[in-house]
Every structure is written in C-alpha cells, then in structure tokens.
Structure 1
Amino acid sequence: MHALFTGLARFMAVLGGLVLTALILLTCVSILGRSLNGILHSDFVMGIAPDLAHWLIDIGIGPVNGDFELVEAGVAFAIFAFLPLCQITAGHASVDIVANALPRGANRFLRMVTEVVFALVLILIAWKLADGMLSKKGYGETSFLLEFPVWWAYAASLFGAVVAAIVGTYMAVVRVTEFLTGRILVWDGVETDQ
C-alpha cells in the first residue's frame, strides 16, 4: 500500500517539476523577448537598422503575452503537486527542540496529531478549491490577457490538492495505527529510539 501512495506522490512531484520547468523557460523567453524588444525600439538600433528592427518587432519579438497569468496558474498547480511527496516523506519543516526531549510515546502522539491535522487541512483546502472552481466556472470568469477560463487553473490545483488530501489521509491513518499499536509502519528518518 505504501509503495502505491509513494508512487502517486512521486508522479505528482515529477508532474509539478515538469510544469515548473516549463514556467521557468516561459519566463526566460518572455524576459529575453522583452529585453530584445526594448533594444529594437532603442534610438541606436532604429538609427542603424530601422527596417530590420521593424521586421523583428512585427514578427513578434517581445514578451510572451499573458506570461504572468500562465505563471500564476502553473505555480499554484506545482505547489499542490509537490505536497503529496512532502507529506509522505515527512519533508515538512519541523522544530524538534522540545520533541527530542520527550519520550517515544509522546513523540508518536505528536506525530499522529500533526498528521491528522495536516490531513484535515488538506481536505479543507481541496474542498474550498472545489467551491472556488465551481464559483469561477459559474460566473464564467476569464483571465485578463489570455481570456482563458479561470476555473481551469482552479481545476489543475484541485487535482493536486485532492491527491495531497488522499496521501495526507493515508499518512494520518498510518500514524494513528502506529500510535495505537506501538509499531512503526513507515520509517522516514524522523523516528526516535528513545
């Protein structure tokens, strides 16, 4: 069972990484285009090669139209795509100053409570994203420049949020079982042998 959820989490992380890589390339192309467009409009270039400058501007040398809209939607998806792997590997930041001094049973209780709270928060986020997506779809709201339906971005983020909620719920069940049985079912390097 753990291998299935780990595979799902890794798949989402790879998908998020691919989207993030595409967004980085898009941003670089847009910045390069914006810079070249500024150079082509400069008095120097217009003075020595006005025909070439106008031709390059006319074929579309410039920033990518709506780049910030695509980055906004894509980064939201990427964040939700990385959450399942972070959840299943206990990759969230933690402060263990007090927890390290506690006995094993107290640490297991804290881990269980933390996982249950994470699962509940992830479920709440997915639920509210679904509400937001349905609202945006109902109103027919579109982005300003590209005019793509805003609910598409919500749907992509919702996909990642639902997977994160599923993985978070699985990990909550694992940690509750560990607490109740006293056995460690999923070793992730955070356990203590006190």
Structure 2
Amino acid sequence: MHRVVKWLSRMSAVIGGLVLLVLVVLTTLSIIGRELSKLGHAMSDGWLGGLILASGIDEINGSYELTEAGVAFAIFAFFPVCQFYGNHATVDVFTSALPRRALAWLCAFWEIVLALVIVFISLRLYDGMLRYLGNGETTLFLQFPVWWSYAASVGAAIIASLTAVYCAYARVVEAATGRMILPEG
C-alpha cells in the first residue's frame, strides 16, 4: 500500500506540475498577444500597427477560464505529495521540547484532523460537481461545462483523500510502535 500511495501522490504532483506549466505558457502567450494588440491599436496610423492589427494577434480567448480551472486542479494535485512527505507548513515553537513519543502522538492527532478536513473538502467538491452537472452551467467564453473542471479537481481530491487517510494511519502506527513508516518532512 505504501508504494501505491507514494506513486499516486508523485504522479498527481507531476500531472499538476504539467498543468501549471501549460498554464504559464498559455498566460504568457495571452499577455504577449494582448500587448501586441494594444501596440497595434496605438500605432494604427503606421504600417507596423496595421500589420499587427491585420494579423489578428490578440489575447487568447478564455485564458482566464482555463487558468481558473487549471489552478484549482493543480492545488488538489499537489496535496497528496505534500501530505505524503509531511511538508505542510508547521509551527512547532512550543512542541519541539516535547518528548519524542508525545510528539509522535501529537503528529498522529493532527494527521487525523487533516485527513478528516481533506476528505470533507473532497466530499463538498464532489457535491459541487454534481450540482453543476445537474444545472448545465457553462463558462462564459469557451462555453465548456463547469462540471468538467470540478471533475478534474475531484479526481485529484480523491487521491489526496486516499493519501491523507493512509498518512493518518501510518502516523498512528508510528506513534504506537516507534517505527518510522513515512519519510520525515
């Protein structure tokens, strides 16, 4: 199970990273197109401005919608790897002086709380997807169904939930036995 969860969390992060890379390229091209279009309008009296305007260069239609959907997916896609390696932000000013065993149980407690929160968010996300699936709402410019972006995020959230539950279980086992299962963050 450990290897499966590790592989799923890493692949989820890789896919999330690829989506972010595509979004960076998309946003860059859209900004360049928009600025060239502005330049063409500003220089519309000259031959260069006319050439830019005639080329049809402009910002990419629907880039905001794609960015919104892609970033939402990427956030959920990065949760599993962050959870698996225990790299969430922590503040341990008061707990760093605790004995190792007490610290292990405290870590297990918060891992369980975090798992419950991630599962809850995933269920609410799934519920939202079903609502959008039922009402047929589409995005403004590209007219793709809103539930598509929810579905992508739900897929990543399921992996995040599986990873969170596994990590909570592993931290409880670690606290009870003193044997490390998960990598330390």
User: Is contact 2:125–2:150 with CA below 8 Å preserved after alignment?
Assistant: yes
Q: What's the offset of the Cα at 1:186?
A: 2.3
* Structure-1 separation of matches of 2:132 and 2:8: 28
Alignment match of 2:89 (pick from 88, 93, 96): 93
Task: Please name the residue that 2:175 is paired with.
Answer: 179
In structure 2, the CA distance between the partners of 1:172 and 1:47, relative to structure 1 (3 Å rule), is same
Helix, strand or coil at the partner of 2:69: helix
User: Is contact 1:20–1:78 with CA below 8 Å preserved after alignment?
Assistant: yes
> What is the RMSD computed on CA atoms of the aligned residues?
1.3
Q: What's the offset of the Cα at 1:56?
A: 1.1
User: Is contact 1:46–1:53 with CA below 8 Å preserved after alignment?
Assistant: no
Q: What's the offset of the Cα at 1:6?
A: 1.1
Task: Please name the residue that 1:163 is paired with.
Answer: 159
* Structure-2 separation of matches of 1:100 and 1:51: 66
Alignment match of 1:131 (pick from 119, 127, 130): 127
In structure 2, the CA distance between the partners of 1:20 and 1:187, relative to structure 1 (3 Å rule), is closer
Q: What's the offset of the Cα at 1:7?
A: 1.1
User: Is contact 1:40–1:46 with CA below 8 Å preserved after alignment?
Assistant: no
Structure 1: state its 5+ residue gaps.
190-194
* Structure-1 separation of matches of 2:99 and 2:143: 57
> What is the CA deviation profile of residues 87-112 of structure 1, one whole-angstrom value per residue up to 9, with x for unaligned ones?
00001011111111111121011110
* Structure-2 separation of matches of 1:88 and 1:136: 31
The amino acid across from 1:67 in the alignment is: S
Q: What's the offset of the Cα at 1:49?
A: 4.5
Q: Deviating runs (4+, > 3 A) in structure 1?
A: 48-51
Alignment match of 2:77 (pick from 75, 81, 86): 81
Q: What's the offset of the Cα at 1:181?
A: 2.2
- In percent, how many aligned pairs have the same letter? 47
User: Is contact 2:30–2:60 with CA below 8 Å preserved after alignment?
Assistant: yes
User: Is contact 1:129–1:158 with CA below 8 Å preserved after alignment?
Assistant: yes
The amino acid across from 1:55 in the alignment is: A
In structure 2, the CA distance between the partners of 1:23 and 1:187, relative to structure 1 (3 Å rule), is closer
* Structure-2 separation of matches of 1:90 and 1:77: 20
Q: What TM-score does the superposition give when structure 1 sets the normalisation length?
A: 0.91
* Structure-2 separation of matches of 1:100 and 1:143: 48
Matched, 1:107 2:103: yes
Structure 2: state its 5+ residue gaps.
none
Task: Please name the residue that 2:47 is paired with.
Answer: 48
How many residues are matched?
185
